[in-house]
Amino acid sequence: MSLANLNVLIIEDDDFQRRILSEILRSLGIENLAQASNGRQALEIIHSRNSDLINVALCDLNMPEMDGMEFLRHLGEEKQNIAVILTSALSGKLLSSVGRMTRLYGIKLLGTMEKPVLLSDLEALLLKYEVQTAANGTQNQKLFSLDEILQAVDTDQFEPYFQPKLDLRSKRIVGAEALARWLHPEHGIVGPGSFIPLLEKTKNIDELTFRLLKKAALACRSFHENGCVLIVSVNLSLASLDDTSLADRITDIVKSAGIDPQYIRLEVTESAAMTSIAPALENLARLCMNGFSLSIDDYGTGSSNLQQLTRIPFSELKIDQSFVKDFSENTALKIVVHSSIDMARKLNVESVAEGVETFQDWTSLKEAGCDTVQGYFVGRPMCEKDFLDFIRNHRPESFATEVPTLQTKKKTRILVVDDDHFTRMIVLSVLHDLGYSEIHDAESAEAAIHKMESESFDLVITDINMPGGINGLEFIQMIRSGKTRANPGTRVMVLTLFSQTEILGVTLALDVNGFLLKPIIPAVAEERLAKALSEQFKLRSSIAYETVRTESKILETLPRNKNFGATVLKSEQRESAEPASHSVPFYRLRPGMVLSDGVHLKDGTLILSAGHTLTEVSINRLNDLFEMLPTLSMSVH
């Protein structure tokens, strides 16, 4: 639904504020407006019309006769299908508290806004209406009898829908949660709120759990067979955990589907995890013993402490979406989210944030150190076929990349260095088309060094093989080791063909900030330029760069499969007694980890030596070279 088709109800007691809101909405193309000066008038308008005619209500809090909170309570009790945006001049903390209350009443909350209301902020919240509607359903939740639900279970009308989970650093899909959906012959896709609570209450949940687990395990095997190795999560009900045969039955179902239990993660609510019922604890322990990993779901909504969380070896802690939504703008929620992530790190388990809906959520969680995210910003739940298409088409390098604004691009100074005039002109043309205006060029490394004596640059893009003078590797080395007047921390990208695998190890040792592949593809170039200009980058000592082999003969004669390019590590002496190493998946690599074994490309070329301490830059470069790596895991300590 476009904004112009929205029907909006303004609930505001101040005449001037109502007029301002009306003008803002009309400037957005919204003409279908209704107005009320308090909650009582708003309810009368809703009751006098078909409630479907009101899509969104802009609701103030402090109003006479019936204030905003009382109106919201009535709206929730009547189960009206109206989304809400809260507006108030009161504190943001109070707004956030009322926002959470609104969600608990079952109302679709698009967001909160402090007055004065800005057009851009209001437009952004209104644009969420379509996504929010899709997430919650466009019609009121239908009530079904237990007999109807059980008959649907018996006739196999339930299917798992898969919502992707994305690693925040690598941006790769590392898992999926299997969510129950009822494919009703009359009502279409029915969400879990219409059947799960009644099945749990009447202790009829097990049969549905087992059917969905089998389908999820078969789907997981299908994903693996199609080259998508990931972990599928399935929810377990607390009502099922008192049966001591549960663990063995789950194990049999998964193994009979042809999938190793290590690829199935079982999610239990925090309340289930904290239970002291012996059979439940036995089931959880036995599932771990059988190779399954466990996840604490909806963390923060129950009552637990650190001691309780250590009773069962959980692998994942999921932060409930009620804390994640808009947490970046709420000090109290931010403290809760940050402390949860910190606790997960201290417990050596993965942190997963649910309900991620915006780029701001994504960015704030990444800054907080969260491992994995799940939510509509990444992808909505989808059937097995659609999910397989989704992961096939997913491009980590282009997902959630914040492209610099046009104003930022115009201020970014870039120097292009290449001895081939034609290539140089193509790169300059692409940069110009992408909006960069402060672009300069040099036909050799010597000319570039001379130019850098009097000018500073934010980014240098250089070719490697430039015969007859200083080659690109030597040029980068001179910058990094402080042998030029340029800032050693100047960001550097390399123009290359990935067939030149011999030089890749050297470029990693010199901490380059990215690769531009020939021929240049503008869309790819824009993504890589954005990453190069934004990634965290910390220089090592100059001696670390001076020891890298960069002489010209390397480009001509270096054989493959040799220990080349990581000689920068020679100066970093390894301890004689090394800590125990362990294998971690590629997407779990973090800055500060130390490689126990060297990293080779598929053709055998060594690009990072054992003993290398990973940084964000080296992890990003490994991500750039992901398709050329022979394994999905690395040995670190």
DSSP assignments along 287-335, one per residue: HHHTT-EEEEEEETSS---HHHHTSS--SEEEEPHHHHTTGGG-HHHHH
> How many beta carbons lie within 10 A of that of residue 441, not counting itself?
19
Q: Say if CB 530 and CB 456 are below 8 A apart.
A: no
Amino acid in position 175: G
Q: What is the pLDDT of residue 505?
A: 83
Least confident window among 88-102, 216-230, 443-457: 88-102
Question: Does 388 share its domain with 428?
Answer: no
Q: Could you tell me if residue 440 is inside a domain? A: yes
CA distance 493 to 621: 11
Q: Which residues pair with 160 in a beta bridge?
A: 180
Question: Does 244 share its domain with 383?
Answer: yes
Which residue has 């093989």 as its token pair? Answer: 465
Least confident window among 16-20, 47-51, 350-354, 415-419: 47-51
| Domain CATH code at residue 571 | 3.40.50.2300
Q: With a cut of 70, say whether residue 535 has pLDDT above it.
A: yes
In this predicted model, what pLDDT tens digit does every residue of 567-611 receive, in sequence order? 233 333 434 445 566 777 666 677 778 888 888 877 777 888 888
Q: Which residues pair with 10 in a beta bridge?
A: 35, 58
Q: What is the pLDDT of residue 580?
A: 62
CA distance 316 to 307: 16
Question: Does 347 share its domain with 367?
Answer: yes
The SS3 of residue 358 is coil
Q: Say if CB 52 and CB 140 are below 8 A apart.
A: no
CA distance 122 to 107: 18
Question: Does 510 share its domain with 582?
Answer: yes
Structural domain count of the chain: 3
For 159-196, the three-class secondary structure string (H helix, E strand, C coil) is: EEEEEEEEECCCCCEEEEEEEEEEEECCCEEECHHHCH
> How many beta carbons lie within 10 A of that of residue 240, not counting itself?
20
Q: What is the pLDDT of residue 376?
A: 87
Q: What is the pLDDT of residue 559?
A: 38
Average the pLDDT over 75-95 and give the result: 82
Q: Final residue of a domain: which of 120, 136, 152?
A: 136
Question: Does 391 share its domain with 427?
Answer: no
CA distance 569 to 574: 9
Q: What angle do CA 134, 138, 142 make, to 5 degrees?
A: 120
Q: What is the pLDDT of residue 311?
A: 67
Q: Could you tell me if residue 275 is inside a domain? A: yes
Q: With a cut of 90, say whether residue 210 has pLDDT above it.
A: yes
Average the pLDDT over 485-490 and give the result: 90
Q: What is the pLDDT of residue 227?
A: 84
Question: Does 554 share its domain with 418?
Answer: yes
CA distance 491 to 557: 28
Percent of the chain with pLDDT over 70: 85
CA distance 454 to 448: 11
Residue of 171, 79, 214 whose CA lies nearest to 626: 171
Query: 535 — phi, psi (to 5°)?
Result: -65, 150
Q: Could you tell me if residue 33 is inside a domain? A: yes
Confidence of residue 177 (pLDDT cuts 50, 70, 90): very high
| Domain CATH code at residue 200 | 3.20.20.450
Q: What is the pLDDT of residue 632?
A: 59
Confidence of residue 556 (pLDDT cuts 50, 70, 90): low
Q: Which residues pair with 264 in a beta bridge?
A: 232
Provide the greatest CA pair distance for the chain: 86
Residue of 77, 340, 67 whose CA lies nearest to 86: 67
Amino acid in position 567: T
Q: Could you tell me if residue 142 is inside a domain? A: no
Which range marks the domain in which residue 422 is found? Answer: 406-636
Q: What is the pLDDT of residue 348?
A: 85
Contacts of 286 (CB under 8 A, 6+ apart): 247, 248
CA distance 463 to 469: 13
Question: Does 410 share its domain with 552?
Answer: yes
Q: With a cut of 90, say whether residue 247 has pLDDT above it.
A: yes
Q: Could you tell me if residue 184 is inside a domain? A: yes
Q: Could you tell me if residue 149 is inside a domain? A: no
Question: Does 260 share its domain with 332?
Answer: yes
Q: Could you tell me if residue 156 is inside a domain? A: no
The two beta strands, 109-114 and 83-88, are parallel
The two beta strands, 350-353 and 372-374, are parallel
Q: Say if CB 545 and CB 466 are below 8 A apart.
A: no
CA distance 468 to 471: 8
Q: In the chain, what is the straight-line distance between the N-terminal and C-terminal CA atoms, in Å?
A: 52
Q: What is the pLDDT of residue 599?
A: 85
CA distance 550 to 496: 16
Q: Final residue of a domain: which of 351, 376, 398?
A: 398
> Residue 202 corresponds to which tokens in the numbers above?
């009447």
Residue of 209, 206, 235, 213 whose CA lies nearest to 296: 235
Confidence of residue 175 (pLDDT cuts 50, 70, 90): very high
CA distance 473 to 125: 49
Q: With a cut of 60, say whether residue 270 has pLDDT above it.
A: no
Question: Does 504 share its domain with 556?
Answer: yes
The SS3 of residue 468 is coil
Exposure on the CB side of residue 324, measured as CA atoms within 13 A: 31
Contacts of 93 (CB under 8 A, 6+ apart): 330, 331, 332
Consecutive H or E run containing 608: strand 606-608
**What is the rounded average pLDDT for all residues in the chain?**
83
Q: What is the DSSP letter of 613?
A: B
Q: What is the pLDDT of residue 549?
A: 82
Overall size of the chain counted in residues: 637
Question: Does 590 share its domain with 626?
Answer: yes
> How many beta carbons lie within 10 A of that of residue 6, not counting itself?
21
CA distance 183 to 316: 30
Q: Final residue of a domain: which of 356, 376, 398?
A: 398
Question: Does 118 share its domain with 195?
Answer: no
Least confident window among 22-36, 303-317, 457-471, 612-626: 303-317
> How many beta carbons lie within 10 A of that of residue 570, not counting itself?
13
Q: What is the pLDDT of residue 444?
A: 95
Q: With a cut of 50, say whether residue 8 has pLDDT above it.
A: yes
CA distance 315 to 326: 26
Q: Could you tell me if residue 147 is inside a domain? A: no
> How many beta carbons lie within 10 A of that of residue 563, not counting itself?
12
Q: What is the pLDDT of residue 267?
A: 92
Q: Can you give the pTM of this predicted structure?
A: 0.57
Question: Does 384 share its domain with 454?
Answer: no
Least confident window among 271-275, 389-393, 595-599: 271-275
